[in-house]
């Protein structure tokens, strides 16, 4: 738990997050228009989305299923009866003048997310609820000096609003929460979690209180922060702003604020200044949404293994360290890649290679697991060569570099470059004898007690063998010779 | 529960209806008359009565997740009172 | 007057089938009648060219042996139904020159059955009214005029909101018309003009493409001169529509087969409370006469109780404005319709909506906004939804004792334009007998039964169980036969 150091003492952050996650579906929540990202303006708009007179909503069953899947993935209660309400307000990109949402009776109730923190501890964050609602369109304010442009492609796209309890105490925890939530949804296939394309957006509720206080302070809501990094920066900025206000004897005004990415600060939103009164009421164009318990159970049966379960299994079955397992399960693609490498091999060795050289290379190349230049099969082959002592771990690193450069297989490269490890006793013994003869003085020094010279002899032998001598065999033989 | 001029201004703004100041009092009067008439509902005991928002007790039907609509920009834009290129336009909004 | 305009739909279909006349002749006669009746302001938009085109196509279909169920029948379409390529106004300024690129499900069904559209009929703005006075395009006027000196010299309302439709059908310049009914907007104008008006069960007709007033109450229905025509036309209009989540997947029976069948043993309920509520002797008298007619036809009259129906109007004037305040939020000057400039977005909204909506619509939007607003929701909206359930329970109890219920349709005959305009509540009271059905979704039909002492028509309303329009048509046809209402309005188009 990180406290903010003020002039007068330490302050604690109280953070709750509201995440809007775009449901992965072909069509919108209440219309048959497409949801694909990047279409020409107003090309993916139906008469329903644009709220033409007499148009009516019909719900997309897939979106209901996705919300239930997500709820199950968050260990949450699924409400068999939920209600769609209208949230009434005027805005240029909200064609009907109301958003169809769920207010009093959401489809998913209380759940939880377990966060694994960098220091190895874990924290459970409560999920208050998850509900289905429509996205609004997009307003563009910077295209013309006196007009706002409106594109309705997003209008009506299904969103899951996932509300957390105010359980987080630092920007790091908020970041971990978002990463974990995103991982769970990606595992489930319910949201692609792509924050750059806006398919996952976050509102941050933040208040400050003196360390030790149990009463909550006045909170501000920071709207639409569109990357995990910005969420953490916004929390950092906003917590200090609030502490300064409070320590200066001022009050924090409950308001909606905007994260300004260029200035790196939050500021009050003008358009949200007035108090809202959304006049929620059940949408009379829709009937209550009723789910069958058996249907929910069937979905539960088809859920994939989720990050927490996978992590436990990796520790159990592959003997991984908790930290490595956590890193590997953070993305489903990484976990799948690891499993493909580890299958039938030394799990620990595979994990070292995936989280070490492999991730390092991807990072350097700016690539992801999915477009990696080295396949899991190829990396597995390399691991095999280490395991069966064809090459040493050190040589393997060179081979891996060559694999990245040439795209060739590990075995082929070892043969081509003659990197096969020498385990032949006779030939190693011959090299040792040559070195010991050439450095008789050093041998004498060693024998008189300068143990450290052992490394020197190893190095010299390796040099003459081009690093290919099996280190274990070399060590054993060398020791024997020097001590004889 | 009676509506005064301030309330008229508030709800008119929520409903985005401009009501000239000189009419606000009169509107308040009219609305109060209707609300007063509606208070007859106070006579009814509704303890333990579930609210009824739809008359047909049938389950909500689901659509399949298939793209069947959209791609009709001309239909969407043809009645627009103001547009630029393929966008609807409104007076500039400051966020 | 042309003979072709004074016949029923059923008769016209016989004539067309027997080649006595063509659809083109029928259309021409009605177009001429429509043009001669412009003083009644029953149509907002006339579509004679479209009508002629459709009539020519109809004759071709009939010649090819492919005539539909209502092929060649010229209709008025209430201007609340969106019609492809024909301006649709909802009688409001706010829709401006809005021209839909789509066709409502119900009008599509009518066209698929061969109907010919004469034009779009007048109505109260957004169907909010009982007089057709609130139309931006001016009031529609009844073809009837009263005997008494006051009414004889004043123009009468044709009822509302479907006033243009009732005026056109009664005045013989549309053979039938569509209406919509949110609180009585089909049945009350039918009663005022001496025609038949049918509001089917909620969910029977698709609402897709009909400009919404109050979504949980709105239903489309036919307005005709005979019960048989209503049965025929409802069959065409009704049917499940996957585009409307509140549409009910129920088979649509051939309602015409119910007509003229015996009502022997049918139990007709008379709600006790409707009597007590101080209705005029004239209305009470007609009601008793109607009950006697059904008794004579073999029905059994039973007294029933609907203790909560007296609260229906108050419930209605919370729920309908609440839903309307939200449904009408889409008229904001952004994507279609009127836009009145403003210095910023909010001003643009406020100017557009203040200028675009008429007084009654503004009033209802304000009421609706208020009853949903923070702090008042429970006291008004939630309370109303609870009383609504009490009303439904009343009807459920009542229908254990009877098969249909008989009541007056409206508390009076038509009033003059200008009357009842100062006090909205007086106007709202027009719907006292019709509103309960909308709240609970039940079907109802108004049948003309006699004339009041002022010489103006009066109808009686029959109420049925949900999706039991068959019983309703059976009883309505018996009542129609016994009442033998053959009075015609002083104004008949073309005379």
Compute the average pLDDT of residues C194-220: 98
pLDDT in the model for residue C475: 98
Shortest Cα distance, chain A CAs vs residue C371, angstroms: 9
Q: Which residue has the tokens 């569109």?
A: A226
Compute the average pLDDT of residues B58-73: 94
Cβ–Cβ below 8 Å for C245 and A59: yes
Give C99-102 contacts, CB < 8 A, sequence gap 24+: C99/B78, C99/B79, C100/A52, C100/A53, C100/C209, C101/A47, C101/B72, C101/B74, C101/B75, C101/B78, C102/A47, C102/A52, C102/B75, C102/C209
- Could you tell me the fold of the domain covering A425-483? Arc Repressor Mutant, subunit A (1.10.10)
Tokens of C408: 């007056």
Residues within 8 A of C (CB atoms), B 44-63 only:
44, 46, 49-56, 58, 60-61, 63
Please give the residue that has the higher pLDDT: either C274 or C210: C210
The partner residue sitting opposite A42, judged by closest CB among B53, B60, B77, is B77
Residues within 8 A of B (CB atoms), C 428-447 only:
439-441
Q: What is the three-class DSSP state of B67? A: coil
Query: If you write DSSP's letter for every residue of C432-489 in order, what string do you get?
Result: TTTHHHHHHT--EEEEEEEE-TTS-EEEEEEEE-TT-HHHHHHHHHHHHHHH------
> What's the rounded Cα separation, in Å, for the pair C138 and C122?
9
Cβ–Cβ below 8 Å for C377 and A281: yes
Q: What is the SS3 string spanning C129-142?
A: CCCCCCCCCCCCCC
pLDDT in the model for residue C277: 62
Could you count the other beta carbons within 10 Å of the beta carbon of residue A275?
Answer: 7
C-alpha closest to that of C275 among C288, C294, C262: C288
C78 catalytic? Reply is yes
Shortest Cα distance, chain B CAs vs residue A172, angstroms: 29
Question: For a pLDDT cut of 90, what percent of chain A falls above it?
Answer: 71
Band (pLDDT 50/70/90 cuts) for residue C422 is confident
Shortest Cα distance, chain C CAs vs residue A40, angstroms: 18
Cβ–Cβ below 8 Å for C245 and A51: no
C36 catalytic? Reply is no
All partners of chain A with 3 or more CB pairs under 8 angstroms? B, C
Which chain C residues are Cβ-neighbours of B53 within 8 angstroms? Answer: 216, 385
Compute the average pLDDT of residues B34-60: 92
Query: If you write DSSP's letter for every residue of C337-403 in order, what string do you get?
Result: S-----SSHHHHHHHHHHHHS-HHHHHHHHHHHHHHSTTTTIIIIIHHHHHHHHHHHHHHHHHHH-S
**Rg (Cα) of chain A, in Å, rounded?**
30
CA-based nearest residue in chain A for residue B93: A148
Lowest mean pLDDT among A358-372, A425-439, C134-148, C348-362: A425-439
> What's the rounded Cα separation, in Å, for the pair A472 and A464?
17
Q: Which residue has the tokens 């909500």?
A: B60
Q: Which residue has the tokens 């509300």?
A: A163
Residues within 8 A of A (CB atoms), C 97-156 only:
98, 100-102, 104
Upper half-sphere CA count for residue A9 (Cβ side, 13 Å): 10
The partner residue sitting opposite B69, judged by closest CB among A31, A92, A149, is A31
Residues within 8 A of B (CB atoms), A 78-137 only:
90, 92
Report the DSSP beta bridge partners of residue C459.
Answer: C448
Compute the average pLDDT of residues A10-37: 97
Which chain C residues are Cβ-neighbours of A51 within 8 angstroms? Answer: 330, 335
Interface check for B9 against chain C (CB to CB < 8 A): the answer is: no
The answer to whether A33 and B69 are in contact (CB under 8 A) is yes
Query: If you write DSSP's letter for every residue of A156-189 in order, what string do you get?
Result: T-EEEEEEE-S-B-SHHHHHHHHHHHHHHHHHHT
pLDDT exceeds cutoff 80 at A80: yes
Q: Which of C58, C130, C161, C165 is catalytic?
A: C161
Q: Which of C22, C28, C78, C191 is catalytic?
A: C78
Look up the pTM and report it. 0.92
Band (pLDDT 50/70/90 cuts) for residue C151 is low
All partners of chain B with 3 or more CB pairs under 8 angstroms? A, C
Query: Mutate which of C312, C362, C386, C427 to test chain B, going by most B C-beta atoms within 10 A?
Result: C386
pLDDT in tens, C56-75: 999 999 999 999 999 999 99
pLDDT exceeds cutoff 60 at A453: yes
CATH number of C2-259: 3.90.1300.10
Band (pLDDT 50/70/90 cuts) for residue C428 is confident
Cis peptide before B25 (omega within 30 of 0): no
Compute the average pLDDT of residues B52-75: 92
Compute the average pLDDT of residues A352-366: 93
CATH number of B5-42: 1.10.20
Distances (CA, A) of C222 to C126, C186, C219, C445: 18, 8, 10, 10
C185 catalytic? Reply is yes
Residues within 8 A of B (CB atoms), A 10-39 only:
25-27, 31-34
Distances (CA, A) of C265 to A265, A399, C299, C303, C403: 80, 97, 5, 15, 10
Compute the average pLDDT of residues A148-159: 97
Domain boundaries of chain B, sorted by first residue: 5-42
pLDDT in tens, B5-37: 999 999 999 999 999 999 999 999 999 999 999
Helix axes B5-14 and C359-372, enclosed angle (nearest 10): 100
Q: What is the three-class DSSP state of C3? A: helix
Distances (CA, A) of A378 to A399, C5, C355: 11, 87, 72
């Amino acid at each position: 738990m990180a406290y903010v150091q003020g002039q007068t003492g330490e302050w604690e952050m109280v953070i709750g997050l509201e995440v809007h996650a775009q449901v992965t579906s072909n069509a919108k929540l209440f219309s048959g228009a497409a949801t694909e990202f990047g279409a020409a303006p107003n090309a993916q708009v139906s008469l329903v989305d644009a709220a033409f007179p007499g148009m009516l909503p019909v719900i997309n069953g897939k979106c209901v299923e996705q919300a239930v899947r997500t709820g199950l993935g968050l260990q949450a209660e699924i409400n068999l009866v939920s209600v769609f309400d209208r949230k009434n307000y005027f805005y240029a990109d909200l064609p009907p003048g109301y958003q169809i949402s769920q207010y009093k009776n959401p489809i998913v109730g209380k759940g939880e997310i377990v966060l694994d923190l960098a220091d190895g501890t874990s924290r459970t964050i409560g999920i208050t609820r998850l509900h289905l609602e429509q996205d609004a369109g997009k307003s563009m304010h910077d295209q013309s000096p006196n007009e706002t442009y409106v594109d309705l492609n997003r209008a009506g796209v299904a969103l899951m609003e996932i509300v957390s309890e105010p359980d987080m105490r630092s920007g790091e925890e908020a970041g971990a929460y978002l990463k974990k939530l995103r991982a769970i949804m990606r595992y489930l296939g319910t949201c692609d979690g792509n924050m750059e394309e806006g398919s996952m957006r976050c509102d941050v509720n933040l208040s400050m209180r003196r360390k030790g206080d149990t009463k909550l302070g006045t909170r501000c809501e920071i709207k639409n922060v569109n990357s995990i990094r910005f969420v953490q920066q916004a929390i950092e900025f906003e917590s200090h702003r609030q502490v300064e206000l409070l320590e200066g004897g001022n009050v924090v005004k409950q308001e909606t604020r905007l994260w300004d990415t260029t200035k790196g600060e939050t500021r009050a939103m003008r358009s949200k200044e007035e108090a809202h009164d959304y006049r929620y009421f059940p949408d009379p164009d829709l009937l209550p949404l009723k789910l069958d318990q058996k249907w929910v159970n069937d979905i539960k049966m088809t859920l994939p293994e989720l990050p927490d379960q996978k992590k436990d299994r990796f520790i159990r079955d592959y003997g991984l360290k908790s930290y490595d397992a956590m890193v590997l399960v953070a993305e489903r693609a990484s976990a799948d890649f690891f499993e493909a490498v580890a299958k039938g091999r030394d799990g620990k060795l595979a994990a070292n290679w995936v989280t070490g050289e492999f991730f390092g290379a991807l990072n350097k190349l700016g690539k992801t697991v999915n477009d990696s230049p080295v396949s899991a099969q190829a990396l597995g082959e390399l691991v095999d060569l280490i395991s069966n002592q064809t090459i040493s771990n050190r040589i393997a690193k060179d081979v891996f570099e060559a694999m990245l450069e040439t795209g060739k297989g590990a075995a082929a490269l070892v043969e081509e470059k003659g990197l096969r490890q020498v385990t032949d006793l006779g030939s190693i013994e011959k090299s040792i004898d040559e070195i010991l003869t050439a450095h008789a003085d050093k041998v004498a020094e060693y024998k008189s007690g300068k143990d450290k010279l052992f490394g020197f002899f190893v190095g010299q032998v390796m040099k003459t063998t081009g690093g290919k001598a099996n280190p274990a065999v070399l060590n054993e033989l060398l020791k024997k010779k020097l001590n004889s | 529960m009676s509506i005064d001029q301030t309330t008229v201004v508030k709800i008119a703004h929520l409903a985005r209806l401009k009501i000239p100041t000189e009419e606000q009092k009169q509107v308040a009067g009219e609305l109060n008359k209707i609300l007063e008439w509606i208070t007859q509902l106070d006579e009814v005991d509704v303890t333990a009565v579930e609210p009824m928002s739809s008359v047909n007790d049938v389950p909500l039907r689901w659509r399949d997740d298939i793209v069947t609509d959209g791609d009709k920009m001309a239909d969407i834009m043809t009645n627009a009172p103001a547009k630029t290129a393929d966008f609807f336009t409104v007076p500039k909004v400051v966020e | 007057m042309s003979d072709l305009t004074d016949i029923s739909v059923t008769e016209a279909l016989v004539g067309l089938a027997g080649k006595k006349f063509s659809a083109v002749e029928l259309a021409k006669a009605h177009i001429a009648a429509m043009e001669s009746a412009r003083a009644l302001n029953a149509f907002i938009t006339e579509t004679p060219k479209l009508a002629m085109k459709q009539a020519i196509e109809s004759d071709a279909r009939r010649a090819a042996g492919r005539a539909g169920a209502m092929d060649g029948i010229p209709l008025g379409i209430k201007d609340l139904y969106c019609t492809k390529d024909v301006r649709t106004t909802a009688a409001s300024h706010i829709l401006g020159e809005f021209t839909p690129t789509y066709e409502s499900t119900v009008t599509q069904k009518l066209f698929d059955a061969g109907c010919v559209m004469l034009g779009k009929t007048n109505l109260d703005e957004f169907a909010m009214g009982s007089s057709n006075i609130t139309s931006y395009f001016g009031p529609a006027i009844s073809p009837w005029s009263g005997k008494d000196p006051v009414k004889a010299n004043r123009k009468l309302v044709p009822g509302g909101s479907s006033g243009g439709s009732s005026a056109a059908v009664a005045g013989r310049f549309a053979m039938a018309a569509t209406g919509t009914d949110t609180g009585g907007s089909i049945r009350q104008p039918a009663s005022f003009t001496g025609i038949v008006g049918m509001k089917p069960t909620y969910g029977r007709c698709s609402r897709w493409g009909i400009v919404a007033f109050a979504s949980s109450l709105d239903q489309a229905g036919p307005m005709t001169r005979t019960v048989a025509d209503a049965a025929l036309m409802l069959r065409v209009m009704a049917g499940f529509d996957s585009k409307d989540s509140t549409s009910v997947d129920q088979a649509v029976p051939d309602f015409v087969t119910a007509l003229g069948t015996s009502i022997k043993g049918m139990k007709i309920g008379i709600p006790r409370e409707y009597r007590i509520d101080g209705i005029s002797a004239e209305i009470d008298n007609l009601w008793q006469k109607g009950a006697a007619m059904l008794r004579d036809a073999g029905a059994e009259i039973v007294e029933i109780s609907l203790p909560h129906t007296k609260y229906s109007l108050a419930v209605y004037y919370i729920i309908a404005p609440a839903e309307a305040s939200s449904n009408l939020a889409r008229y904001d000057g952004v994507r279609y319709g009127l836009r009145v400039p403003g210095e910023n977005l909010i001003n643009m909204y406020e100017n557009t909506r203040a200028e675009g909506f008429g007084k009654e619509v503004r009033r209802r939007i304000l009421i609706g906004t208020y009853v949903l607003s923070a702090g008042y929701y429970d006291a008004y909206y939630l309370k109303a939804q609870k009383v609504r359930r009490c009303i439904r329970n009343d009807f459920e109890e009542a229908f254990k004792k009877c098969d249909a219920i008989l009541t007056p349709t409206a508390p009076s005959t038509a009033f003059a334009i200008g009357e009842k305009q100062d006090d909205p509540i007086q106007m709202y009271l027009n719907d006292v007998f019709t509103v309960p059905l909308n709240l609970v979704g039940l079907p109802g039909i108004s049948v003309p039964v006699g004339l009041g002492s002022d010489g103006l028509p009066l109808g009686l309303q029959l109420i049925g169980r949900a999706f039991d329009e068959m019983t309703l048509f059976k009883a309505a046809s018996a009542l129609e036969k016994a009442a033998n209402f053959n009075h015609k309005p002083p104004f008949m188009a073309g005379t």
